[in-house]
Structure 1
Amino acid sequence: MRKHVLIVLGIIVLLGIAIVSWLAWPDAARLSVDQVAGKRPTIGAPREQVIPTVVIAKPVGWAKGTMPQVAQGLAIQPFATGLDHPRWLYELPNGDVLVAETNSPPRDGGGIVQKIMNVFLGRAGAGGPSANRITLLRDTNGDGVADLKTPFLTGLNSPFGMALFDGYLYIGDTDALVRVPYRDGETRITVTPEKVVPLNPGGNHWARNVIASGDGQTLFVSVGSATNIAEKGLDAEKYRAAILQVWPKDKTWRIYAAGLRNANGMALNPKNGRLWTVVNERDMLGSDLAPDYLTQIEFGDHFGWPWYYWGGYPDDRVEPANPALQQYVKRPDYALGPHVAALGLTFSQGARLGDRYAQGVFIGEHGSWNRKPPSGYKVVYVPFGPNGFPLPGAKPVDVVSGFLNARGEAQGRPVGVIVDKKGGLLVADDVGNVVWRVHAAG
C-alpha cells in the first residue's frame, strides 16, 4: 500500500514539475528592442529552445473609424481598402500602384515545430488561401485615395515582388521568376506569364522579391531559406537563403550573395546605387536573439546562415559545423532588433514628410511570433549619413505604429512600403486588408 502511495505521489510531483516547466517555457526578453538595435547591438548568450516561444497577436482588423498612429507632423488615411491580404507594392511610371494580394502556398507538414507554426500562423491571419492576384490602384483625382481598383494580373502562384525592366513586368512567384509584356497605362494583362528562371519552392519563406539592378542588364531576386536553421539538411536549402542575380535576356543566373536566412525587401541606395536589403534572422535562441538586420550587399558576400549570426556568432545547433566559414562571415551594417520580422524596405528619396525623413530608409516590420513581449508591428525609419550608411548611434524611429491594440491583438500588420510620386508613404497592411498612405500633416 505504502509503495503505491509513493508511486502516486511521485507521479503527482513529476506532473507538477512538468506543468511548472510548461508554464515557464515561454522565454521572456531580458533586453529591450533598442538594446538589440543599431550599429552596435547587444548580442547576449543564446537561450536555446526545444519548444518555441509563441506569442502571436490574434488578428481582429480595424474597427470602424480606427487607424494606425503616426509620428508627430504626419497624417494617415486609407489609400485602398477591401483588399485580400495585400503584401507588396510597386509604383508604375504613370503613378498607378500595383499591389500583390497574396499569401503562402500550403506549407509542408514537417515536425512538431512546423505544426505549431502552422497552427499559430493560421491564427495570425497568415494561413489562408492566396488570392494569387496583382491588383491595380489608380488615384484619378489626386486626393490621395485610389478610386480605381481592378484586377491587373491573375492566375499567379503566391506572387510577391514586381519590377519593370526592358518592356516587361517581372513577378516573383514562389516557384519562378516570370514576366509579361507591359505598356504604360494599361489596366489589365491577360497573357500567360513566361517563365524566366525557376526558383526552389516549399517549406518556409515563400515570398520572392525582385528589383532591377543598377547596371541595366540584370535583376536581383531574393529567395529565403526552407527552414529555420537547415534542420532538414543542406540539400533542402539549395539555391536558397540567398540573393540571386538574373540575366533575363539569356535566362541565366548566379548566386550574388548567400547566408541570408530570409532577405525580403531590397532597394538601391540613391546615393551610390548599392544594393541594400532587410533580413529576418533565426528563431528559438530566445527572445533577445538574433537581431533582424539592414545591410548593404556586395557580390560574394556571405552572412553566415545557418552556421553563424551577426558576423560570426556560432549557432551550435547546426550540424555539421562549418568552422572554416567563420572568418569570412560578413557582419551586417545595422541591427533592427530581435524577431521584428523586417520585410518592407524603401529609401526615403522623394518623400515629402519633412526634413526628419530626408535621408534614410523606411522599413515595414511585420511583427514577431517568437518573442515575449512582441516586437515589430510597426513601420520605422533609419536615418543615414552623408557616407551612405546609417548614422552612428541612431536607433530605429517609429513612423507608423498602433497596429496592436491594448489587448495585444493585431488590428493590422505592415509589410511592403514605397514612396509614391507625390511624396507620400504607402504601407501594405495584410491583416487590415488596407493600403495606408502617410503624408505631411496640414
Structure 2
Amino acid sequence: MKVTFLKTLALSSLVSGAAWAQSSAAELKEEARSIFLTSCAASCHNKAVSPRLTDASGDVDFNAVKLNAARIIARVQDASMPPRRAPASQQITAAQRETLLQYVKSLQTDTPDNAGLPLASLRLASGFNIEVFAKAEGARSLAVHPEGIVFVGTGGFSNVDPNGRVHAIVPTSSGRKVIALAWNLDNPNGVALQGNDLYVAEQTRVIRFKDAVGWVKANVGKNLGKTSAPFTTVYSGLPDQPTHSWKYLGFGPDGKLYLNIGAPCNICLPDRDTYATIMRMNADGSNLETVARGVRNTVGFTWHPETREMWFTDNGRDQLGDNLPPDELNRLTADGQDFGYPYCHAKTISDPTYGKNQDCRSDAFTKPEVELGAHVAALGLTFYQGSMFPAAYQNAVFIAEHGSWNSSRKNGYRLSVVQFKQDAEGKTVATYQPFIAGWLNDANQTNWGRPVDVKNYVDGSLLLSDDQTGAIYRVTYTTP
C-alpha cells in the first residue's frame, strides 16, 4: 500500500513538473513574441528589412527566428540594439534582453545537418547538388583566391552583420576554418582581390589589406578576439547617401578597380553626377572617373571571359506595381554609356515622372541585354568558367536574386541562369530561367534564405552566398 502511494505521488509529481515545464516554455515564447513585435519587428525586421521576422499576417515567424538564431543572439547582446534611430517605445530593457536570449538559445538545441538549413527543399536540375560550404554571419560579396581562400564581405540593405566584419574561409588540413579579417567596419559589402591584397568597400571609402592572404593563413585558428588585420585607406569621400549606399568592387581586365555609386532614392533626378553610376580608379585610389551613367543600383558586375566587356545587374525602381519594371542584365561596350535612369527603365519603359519628355526607344539610352524578373533584386553574377558543369553552361551567366521586398507576391529568392544560343538565322538568343529555387515558399509567402553573390570556385563548382542564413553554399555537378 505504501509503495503504491509513493508511486502515485512520484507520478503525480512528474506530471505536475512536465505541465509546469510546458507552461513555462509557452509563457517564455509568448513573452518573446511580445518583445519581437514591439521592438525588433516594429523598428526593422518586418517586410522592409532582412531578415524578416514576421509572417504575412504580421505575427512573429518563429521558423525565421530559429533560422536566424545565431544572428539574433549576437544582435541582442549588442549594446546598440535596437538601432539608435528606433523610438524610445521600441527600446528594450535588460530583462527583455535576457528573455530574448533565453528563448532564442532554446531553439538551438536541435540543429540538424547542413547547419540547420532545409536544403532538401531546394529544387535543382538533375545531376546538380548543393551543400553548405561554410557559414559566416551576414555573408554577401565574395572574392576567391587561387589557393581556395574565400573572402566574404557583409553589410548591405540591413547591415546583416552588426559587427561590421570581413570574413575569410581558409582551407586547412583539418577542414575549412572561418576567421574575421576585420571588425567594426561601415557596411563592408564589396570585396576584391589583386594578387594577395584585399580591397574592401565601405559606405564612404575603399580600404586595402596588404597581403590579406598571408595574414589569414598565419592567424587562422588563433583566438584573436576582435583584432583586425592592418589596412590603409585607398579612397575616401564617397557620398554618404541615405539609400543604395553599399558598394560592390571588382578589378577589371585593365587592372583598374571598379565600384558602383547607387541612386540616393527610389526615383529622383540626382543632384550630383556621381550618383547612379559605375566608376573606376587606379589601384592606389587615383584618377576616379565615371564609366557608366543612368545605373539606378548595381550590386554585381563581372567581365566576359572572351570579349572582356563588363556585364552588370541593375535593380529597377519600386512603386510601379508588381510587374514593372524588370530588373536588368546589362553590357557595357563603351565608356560613358547611359542606361536610362531616371528617365527610362528596361528596354522601352518611360518613367511616369521623369520620362515624359524622353524617347526611351532612342539610341541615347543603352538597352539591357536581358530583362529579368520585376523586383527580383538581381545582385551578384558570374560567367561560369569551370570544367565540372555540362558544356551547355560554359560562359552562362549565373545571377543571384536576393528577392523582392515590397511586392504583394514575393519574387526572386533564387539563383537564375542566362544562357546564350544561336537561332536558325544565326542570331544570339538569350534564355533566362531559375537554376536553383526553393528559398521562397510561394504557397505561404515565407522565405528562409536570400542569395546575394555567386562566384566560380577553384574546383569548378560555384559558390553562392546567402545573407539571411550566413551560409555560403557550394553547387556541384555529378553525371546522373
Q: Same fold (TM over 0.5)?
A: yes
1:184 Cα shift?
A: 4.0
Tell me what 2:298 maps to: 263
Quote the Cα distance in structure 1 between the aligned partners of 2:357 and 2:230. Answer: 48
Quote the Cα distance in structure 2 between the aligned partners of 1:360 and 1:173. Answer: 30
1:151 Cα shift?
A: 0.8
Tell me what 2:89 maps to: none
Quote the Cα distance in structure 1 between the aligned partners of 2:326 and 2:339. Answer: 13
1:410 Cα shift?
A: 1.3
**Is contact 1:352-1:439 (8 Å) kept?**
yes
Quote the Cα distance in structure 1 between the aligned partners of 2:188 and 2:435. Answer: 27
4+ residue stretches of structure 1 with deviation over 6 A?
53-57
| Alignment gaps of 5+ in structure 1 | 1-52, 105-125
Which region of structure 1 is more displaced relative to structure 2, 88-97 or 154-163?
154-163
1:392 Cα shift?
A: 4.5
Cα-to-partner distance string for 1:224-259 (whole Å, 9 max, x where unaligned): 1110111xx522x54121100212336221110010
Cα-to-partner distance string for 1:354-406 (whole Å, 9 max, x where unaligned): 2332231110000112323221110011113489xxx8554323222110135
Structure ranking higher in helix proportion: 2
Counterparts in 2 of 1:213 and 1:386: CA distance versus 1, 3 Å = farther
Alignment of 1:290-369 (within 5 A): 290-297=325-332, 298-318=334-354, 327-350=363-386, 352-369=388-405
Quote the Cα distance in structure 1 between the aligned partners of 2:237 and 2:305. Answer: 30
Q: TM-score, normalised by structure 2?
A: 0.68
Counterparts in 2 of 1:420 and 1:141: CA distance versus 1, 3 Å = farther
**Is contact 2:244-2:262 (8 Å) kept?**
yes
Quote the Cα distance in structure 2 between the aligned partners of 1:313 and 1:103. Answer: 28
Tell me what 2:179 maps to: 150
Quote the Cα distance in structure 1 between the aligned partners of 2:237 and 2:361. Answer: 28
Tell me what 1:89 maps to: 142
Counterparts in 2 of 1:352 and 1:334: CA distance versus 1, 3 Å = same
2:250 aligned residue (211, 218, 223): 211
Counterparts in 2 of 1:394 and 1:234: CA distance versus 1, 3 Å = closer
For the residue of structure 1 that corresponds to 2:172, the secondary structure is: coil
2:171 aligned residue (129, 139, 148): 139
For the residue of structure 2 that corresponds to 1:178, the secondary structure is: strand
Tell me what 1:4 maps to: none
Quote the Cα distance in structure 2 between the aligned partners of 1:133 and 1:196. Answer: 19
Counterparts in 2 of 1:382 and 1:190: CA distance versus 1, 3 Å = same
Quote the Cα distance in structure 1 between the aligned partners of 2:48 and 2:183. Answer: 35
Across the two proteins, how many residue pairs are aligned to each other? 359
Tell me what 2:474 maps to: 437
Cα-to-partner distance string for 1:156-194 (whole Å, 9 max, x where unaligned): 210112222366321111111222212544306621331
Counterparts in 2 of 1:159 and 1:349: CA distance versus 1, 3 Å = same
Q: CA RMSD in A?
A: 2.9
1:418 Cα shift?
A: 0.6
Quote the Cα distance in structure 2 between the aligned partners of 1:173 and 1:279. Answer: 20
For the residue of structure 2 that corresponds to 1:244, the secondary structure is: strand
**Is contact 2:50-2:468 (8 Å) kept?**
no
- Residues 1:407 and 2:444 aligned together: yes
- Residues 1:194 and 2:233 aligned together: yes
**Is contact 1:102-1:131 (8 Å) kept?**
no
Cα-to-partner distance string for 1:333-366 (whole Å, 9 max, x where unaligned): 1111211100010110125122332231110000
1:432 Cα shift?
A: 1.6
Quote the Cα distance in structure 1 between the aligned partners of 2:476 and 2:325. Answer: 33
- Residues 1:176 and 2:214 aligned together: no
Sequence identity (%): 28
Larger Rg: 2
1:266 Cα shift?
A: 0.8
Quote the Cα distance in structure 1 between the aligned partners of 2:182 and 2:289. Answer: 28
**Is contact 1:304-1:326 (8 Å) kept?**
no
Counterparts in 2 of 1:397 and 1:96: CA distance versus 1, 3 Å = same
Quote the Cα distance in structure 2 between the aligned partners of 1:160 and 1:276. Answer: 19
Counterparts in 2 of 1:433 and 1:324: CA distance versus 1, 3 Å = closer
Tell me what 1:249 maps to: 284
Cα-to-partner distance string for 1:186-234 (whole Å, 9 max, x where unaligned): 3066213313243212221122111111123x2211121110111xx52
Tell me what 2:78 maps to: none
Quote the Cα distance in structure 2 between the aligned partners of 1:151 and 1:192. Answer: 14
- Residues 1:418 and 2:452 aligned together: no
Counterparts in 2 of 1:320 and 1:421: CA distance versus 1, 3 Å = same
Quote the Cα distance in structure 1 between the aligned partners of 2:126 and 2:324. Answer: 31
**Is contact 1:103-1:132 (8 Å) kept?**
no
Counterparts in 2 of 1:183 and 1:92: CA distance versus 1, 3 Å = same
Which region of structure 1 is more displaced relative to structure 2, 274-283 or 188-197?
188-197
Cα-to-partner distance string for 1:301-356 (whole Å, 9 max, x where unaligned): 10110111124432122389566996511111111121110001011012512233
For the residue of structure 2 that corresponds to 1:329, the secondary structure is: coil
Quote the Cα distance in structure 2 between the aligned partners of 1:70 and 1:98. Answer: 26
Tell me what 2:258 maps to: 220
The residue type paired with residue 410 of structure 1 is: N
Cα-to-partner distance string for 1:114-166 (whole Å, 9 max, x where unaligned): xxxxxxxxxxxx36563311111123359xxx621111122321011222236
For the residue of structure 1 that corresponds to 2:288, the secondary structure is: strand
Cα-to-partner distance string for 1:238-291 (whole Å, 9 max, x where unaligned): 412110021233622111001010111111100111111011111111111111
The residue type paired with residue 257 of structure 2 is: L
Counterparts in 2 of 1:160 and 1:380: CA distance versus 1, 3 Å = same
2:134 aligned residue (62, 80, 94): 80
Tell me what 2:311 maps to: 276
Tell me what 1:229 maps to: 267
For the residue of structure 2 that corresponds to 1:159, the secondary structure is: coil
Which region of structure 1 is more displaced relative to structure 2, 180-189 or 424-433?
180-189
Quote the Cα distance in structure 1 between the aligned partners of 2:48 and 2:378. Answer: 18
Cα-to-partner distance string for 1:6-46 (whole Å, 9 max, x where unaligned): xxxxxxxxxxxxxxxxxxxxxxxxxxxxxxxxxxxxxxxxx
Tell me what 2:419 maps to: 383
**Is contact 1:91-1:420 (8 Å) kept?**
yes
**Is contact 1:223-1:240 (8 Å) kept?**
yes
Q: TM-score, normalised by structure 1?
A: 0.74
| Alignment gaps of 5+ in structure 2 | 1-46, 54-63, 69-110, 220-227
Quote the Cα distance in structure 1 between the aligned partners of 2:209 and 2:350. Answer: 43
The residue type paired with residue 130 of structure 1 is: P
Counterparts in 2 of 1:154 and 1:171: CA distance versus 1, 3 Å = same
